[in-house]
Amino acid sequence: MDNEQGETGLPWTRAEVEATVATYFQMLRMQELGQKANKAEHNRRLLAALPARSIQAVEYKHRNISAVMSLYGAQALSGYKPAANFQQLLVEVVGNTLAQDRAFDEAALRSVETPAETPVVDNFEDFVVEAPKAKERVQEQRAEWIRRSPIKRDYLEREARNRSLGLAGELLVMEFEARRLHEQGAKRYVDRIEHVSQVRGDGTGYDILSFDTDGRERFIEVKTTAYMAETPFFVTPNELDFSSEQSRQFYLYRLFAFRRKPQMFVLTGPVAANCLLEPHSYRATVIGT
């Protein structure tokens, strides 16, 4: 489905896009402030201003907005998984809103920089889920629209630098690993689980040393977010190299929805084999003439 045109066959107008983005941001501000948005009621009111669109078209447009937000480096609205086939007009309207919405900027910064506590999990029965599978990738032309935009945000990068959140995620994984080994009849390895990032530092390429039931070492890198499973995450060159060098024993544990109901999916093997990697920045050193 190409969401530049809805079920009417007519392209989305600027007025329609602006109204939809405004509703999305209203719900997103509430999310970042810890309030629960009534999505059905918000969309009902939006539809009254969009007589040419159906609820299905509106909700798909919200998913388009989620894709654009992630590419801008901003958090997306929970419940609307990114859909990549967005129009250039949407990129412009979302970018303008990001630049002008001071209330969202303040709420978003506070949200990603707020310290976190390790949650108490009674049981891990539904903790591990399947990794999300992207049905479509963002076309290079669409990604270029955002790369060339003067609007840049780094909320997701700031969240990745939130040491309190990262530590809370690692401690939850330590507990999960201890329970996993105990329940699988390998409790002799529980005392050998090591919090590598705290004991040896961040340069090892992984955060936690654990074990398989046969005693083989399991190298675990933990990535934690408060947002949906599809939220992009950041990896270092060292982590990429280590995941390739130790591909048979490397595990990436991606924790998501951490502040509400934490869950996790697992990627095994080289990160490059499981993820679409995009260059984020370069270090430049002047070489002279």
pLDDT in tens, 252-268: 999 999 999 999 999 99
Query: Between these two residues, 95 and 144, which has the higher pLDDT value?
Result: 95
- Rounded to the nearest integer, the mean pLDDT of the chain is 93
Per-residue model confidence (pLDDT) at position 20: 98
What is the model's pLDDT at position 135?
A: 62
pLDDT in tens, 200-218: 998 999 999 999 999 999 9
* Mean pLDDT, rounded, for 156-175: 97
Q: Does the global pTM surpass 0.95?
A: no
Q: At 2, is the pLDDT very low, low, confident or very high (cuts 50, 70, 90)?
A: very low
pLDDT > 70 in the chain, percent: 95
pLDDT by residue (tens digit) across 64-83?
999 999 999 999 999 999 99
pLDDT at 102 over 50: yes
| 3-class DSSP string for the chain | CCCCECCCCCECCHHHHHHHHHHHHHHHHHHHCCCCCCHHHHHHHHHHCCCCCCHHHHHHHHHHHHHHHHHHCCCCCCCCCCCCCCCHHHHHHHHHHHHHCHHHHHHHHHHHHCCCCCCCCCCCCCCECCCCCCCCCCCHHHHHHHHCCCCCCCHHHHHHCCHHHHHHHHHHHHHHHHHHHHHCCCHHHHHHCECHHHHCCHHHCCCEEEECCCCCEEEEEEEECCCCCCCCCCCCHHHHHHHHHCCCCEEEEEEECCCCCCEEEEEECCHHHHCCCCCCCCCCCCCCC
Sorted by where each begins, the domain ranges of the chain are 1-113, 118-289
